[in-house]
């Protein structure tokens, strides 16, 4: 047992295993709704999934990294869209330690509160007498339709001029607003991860006090390794766990199909064919290798965060493992779809859903291919753009 698993809340991993069959059974419903149904989101909240990274002093679990990622992976084996929304909301709660304690308690006043939002600074915040007036439109608002509070990245202005940080760069921070002040737009018509409800959302001249701007004023971080790891790093790494979960489900579903399917022109079931068996074995070892490396890097980052506030080498390694996990997950889902034959193309086949969902993940900005060069620049001793890590 790893050190992280030994100190984790084991009930969340057990709860994920218990929840996965329900998610699998409701996958069609989630996809057709194009968002997580409210009763399902509420059930997840009541069981504690959304507060895995909330500080203990606010009633959260402050779970270690690797077990948290395992929860995302297990949920993804049931339904990728639900797992995605949980991961986004869990990472969104990392804004809480960067708010005044009284504000954090106001936002997370009940253990079933849900936060979600967009880090990208797509909005504009103009100073006024009581704080700022915020306007903007944010794409990819995963899980925001189920949220009580919505986070929105902004650039900040005073008297029409950008407010800058100590380095002279324009300040970008996230504002936190009640969901009742957000206009949700019906824009999420996509090929995969439909159930994430990742619609655009809009704010129009919404007042926000400074106390509701994450990291606006320096706030001492809670004790613990989790809060020493940059928020951006933790936002991205969960995508690897979800990709691995999709791939595992794709191989499992493929094996079920193979035992019952005899392709046209063949005399033996697919599972008995040597070419199928070889391809299945290659996919299996690719998944095991990517998964093992991914969790090895997660453990290493956790250990380093206990000793080093930067842990840049370990952050780079986990981002690299995440990129690899996402790529391998998509490759395996594509292989499962191909090996499933013509029956894979029907909407009743889970193999086509795994194929679509896994390939949507590959398009996310946080796992885009050019990040290989960012990590490579660090490895080569010529770092460029490493703030992305």
pLDDT confidence of residue 221:
74
For residues 377 and 124, the model is more confident at 124
Percent of the chain with pLDDT over 90: 82
pLDDT per residue as tens digits for the range 131-189: 999 999 999 999 999 999 999 999 999 999 999 998 899 999 999 999 999 999 999 99
Query: Which residue from 291, 218, 293, 300 is spatially nearest to 251, judged by alpha carbons?
Result: 291
Q: How confident is the model at residue 7 (pLDDT cuts 50, 70, 90)?
A: very low
Superfamily of chain region 115-212: Butyryl-CoA Dehydrogenase, subunit A, domain 2 (2.40.110.10)
Contact present, 64 and 4 (Cβ < 8 Å): yes
**CATH T-level topology, domain 229-261+269-388:** Butyryl-CoA Dehydrogenase, subunit A; domain 3 (1.20.140)
Average pLDDT over residues 327-349: 96
- Which of 3.60.20.10, 2.60.120.1360, 1.10.10.10, 1.10.540.10 is the CATH number of 3-98? 1.10.540.10
| Helix/strand/coil for 373 | helix
Report pLDDT digits (tens) over 216-271. Answer: 988 777 788 999 898 888 988 999 999 999 999 999 999 999 887 776 666 678 88
């Amino acid at each position: 047992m790893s050190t992280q698993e030994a100190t984790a809340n084991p009930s969340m991993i057990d709860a994920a295993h218990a929840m996965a069959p329900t998610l699998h059974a409701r996958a069609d419903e989630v996809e057709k709704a194009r968002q997580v149904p409210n009763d399902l989101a509420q059930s997840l909240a009541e069981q504690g999934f959304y507060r895995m990274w909330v500080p203990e002093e606010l009633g959260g679990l402050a779970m270690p990294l690797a077990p948290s990622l395992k929860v995302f992976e297990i949920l993804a084996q049931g339904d990728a869209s639900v797992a995605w929304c949980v991961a986004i909301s869990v990472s969104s709660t990392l804004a809480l330690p960067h708010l005044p304690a009284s504000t954090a308690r106001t936002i997370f006043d009940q253990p079933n509160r849900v936060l979600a939002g967009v880090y990208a600074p797509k909005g504009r915040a103009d100073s006024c007498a009581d704080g700022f007036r915020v306007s903007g439109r944010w794409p990819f608002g995963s899980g925001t339709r189920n949220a009580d509070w919505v986070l929105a990245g902004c650039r900040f202005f005073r008297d029409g001029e950008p407010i800058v940080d100590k380095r002279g760069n324009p300040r970008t921070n996230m504002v936190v607003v009640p969901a009742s002040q957000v206009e949700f737009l019906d824009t999420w018509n996509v090929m995969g991860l439909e159930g994430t409800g990742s619609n655009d959302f809009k704010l129009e001249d919404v007042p926000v006090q400074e106390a509701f701007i994450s990291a606006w004023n320096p706030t001492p971080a809670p004790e613990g390794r989790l809060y020493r790891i940059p928020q951006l790093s933790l936002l991205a790494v969960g995508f690897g766990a979800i990709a691995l979960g999709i791939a595992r489900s794709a191989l499992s579903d493929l094996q079920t199909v193979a035992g019952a399917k005899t392709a046209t022109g063949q005399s033996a079931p697919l599972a008995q064919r040597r070419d199928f068996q070889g391809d299945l074995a290659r996919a299996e070892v690719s998944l095991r290798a990517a998964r093992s490396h991914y969790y090895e890097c997660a453990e290493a980052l956790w250990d380093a965060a206990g000793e080093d506030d930067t842990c840049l080498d370990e952050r780079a390694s986990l981002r690299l493992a995440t990129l690899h996990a996402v790529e391998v997950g998509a490759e395996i889902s594509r292989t499962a779809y191909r090996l499933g034959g013509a029956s894979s193309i029907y909407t009743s086949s889970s193999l086509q859903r795994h194929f679509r969902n896994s390939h949507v993940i590959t398009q996310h900005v946080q796992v885009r291919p050019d990040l290989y060069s960012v990590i490579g620049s660090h490895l080569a001793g010529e770092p460029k753009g490493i703030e992305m890590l």
